[in-house]
């Protein structure tokens, strides 16, 4: 075999894999979203947009990302920097902080449901009778989802940042210290720039995963706090309309692509 063909052979398995499990379903989904019994149609798209749950779902999903991701990154970064100082029992803290990573979304949702539900831990500890998850209290309902998601998904960002920090040589940091840079200055000008690749990966991953938030919200609020992926499931599973389900799924895909593209662009520009 000629050396020129070798790379194609090497990537062939992954090409087959991507085509079968990604490209093909994607094409089918596009077909489902845009064809009806009488040929091409935008009827499913209109149906999706007219649905009283769609815009609230889109709004909630966006709000979730906007609130969740900055808080999550601040928390994860703090946790990683704390660990970097090598406190006593650092290994123990590390394991405790990554435990949520091992827990399934649904289980995490249920754990937090036990906390927030009308007769849950929170109400029994404070002897209150507040319906945190009632549709009448959208703010607490939303906050409950935020807290649960923070607990569940911050560890992913944390692990990525810890891994990234290990690739940052101590020398730079020490050199900056010798020249009299304080902690904040070193963080801003030495550590964070070197963490950029890790942060970029974590941002893209987390944004896409946050767009796909589903099980935690479903467990906590049912359809009271609709989210886009939950709506896809609703249309596919309960309403048995794969066409509208595909249309919503495509919206999620488009937003994910845009977000990933945007981050890459932003990070590159910041680099220049």
Contact by Cβ (8 Å): 142, 155:
no
Exposure pattern of 30-55 as b/e (b: 16+ CB <10 Å)? eebbbeeeeeeeebbbeebeebebbe
Q: Which of 110, 168, 176, 267 binds other proteins (CB under 8 A)?
A: 110
76-84, 85-93, 178-186, 231-239 -> range binding other proteins (CB under 8 A): 231-239
CB closer to other proteins out of 13 and 37: 37
Q: Which of 19, 42, 134, 166 binds other proteins (CB under 8 A)?
A: 134
Q: Which of 1, 4, 5, 50 binds other proteins (CB under 8 A)?
A: 50
State the minimum distance, in angstroms, from the CB of residue 156 to other proteins: 21
Q: How far apart are CA 62 and CA 172, in angstroms?
A: 38
**Cα–Cα distance list, 61 to 69, 136, 232 (Å):** 12, 19, 13
Size of the site for other proteins (CB under 8 A): 32
Contact by Cβ (8 Å): 158, 98:
yes
CB closer to other proteins out of 111 and 168: 111
- Residues 234-263 binding other proteins (CB under 8 A) are 237-241
CB closer to other proteins out of 128 and 240: 240
Does 35 help bind other proteins (rule: CB under 8 A)?
A: no
Does 228 help bind other proteins (rule: CB under 8 A)?
A: no
Q: Which of 37, 39, 91, 180 binds other proteins (CB under 8 A)?
A: 37
Q: How far apart are CA 226 and CA 216, in angstroms?
A: 12
Does 45 help bind other proteins (rule: CB under 8 A)?
A: no
CB closer to other proteins out of 173 and 231: 231
Q: Which of 30, 223, 256, 263 binds other proteins (CB under 8 A)?
A: 223
Q: Is the dihedral of CA 79, 85, 88, 94 positive or negative?
A: positive
Q: Which of 12, 106, 257, 258 binds other proteins (CB under 8 A)?
A: 106
Contacting residues toward other proteins, per CB under 8 A: 37, 47, 50-53, 106, 109-110, 113-114, 117-120, 131, 133-136, 215, 218-219, 222-224, 233, 237-241
């Amino acid at each position: 075999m000629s050396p020129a063909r070798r790379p194609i052979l090497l990537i062939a398995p992954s090409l087959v894999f991507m085509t079968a499990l990604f490209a093909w379903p994607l094409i089918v989904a596009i077909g489902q979203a845009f064809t009806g019994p009488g040929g091409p149609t935008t009827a499913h798209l209109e149906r999706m947009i007219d649905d009283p749950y769609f815009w609230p779902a889109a709004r909630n999903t966006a709000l979730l990302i906007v609130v969740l991701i900055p808080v999550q990154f601040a928390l994860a970064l703090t946790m990683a920097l704390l660990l970097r100082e090598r406190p006593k029992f650092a290994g123990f803290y590390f394991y405790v902080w990554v435990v949520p990573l091992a827990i399934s979304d649904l289980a995490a949702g249920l754990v937090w449901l036990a906390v927030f539900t009308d007769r849950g831990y929170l109400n029994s500890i404070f002897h209150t009778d507040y319906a945190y998850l009632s549709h009448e209290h959208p703010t607490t309902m939303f906050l409950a989802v935020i807290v649960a998601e923070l607990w569940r998904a911050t560890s992913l960002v944390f692990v990525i940042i810890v891994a990234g920090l290990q690739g940052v040589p101590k020398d730079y940091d020490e050199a900056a210290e010798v020249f009299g840079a304080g902690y904040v200055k070193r963080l801003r000008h030495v550590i964070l720039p070197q963490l950029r690749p890790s942060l970029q990966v974590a941002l893209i991953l987390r944004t896409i995963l946050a767009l796909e938030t589903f099980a935690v919200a479903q467990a906590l609020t049912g359809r009271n706090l609709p989210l886009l992926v939950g709506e896809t499931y609703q249309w596919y599973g309960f309403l048995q309309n794969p066409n509208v389900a595909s249309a919503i799924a495509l919206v999620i895909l488009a937003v994910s692509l845009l977000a990933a593209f945007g981050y890459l662009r932003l990070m590159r520009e910041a680099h220049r």
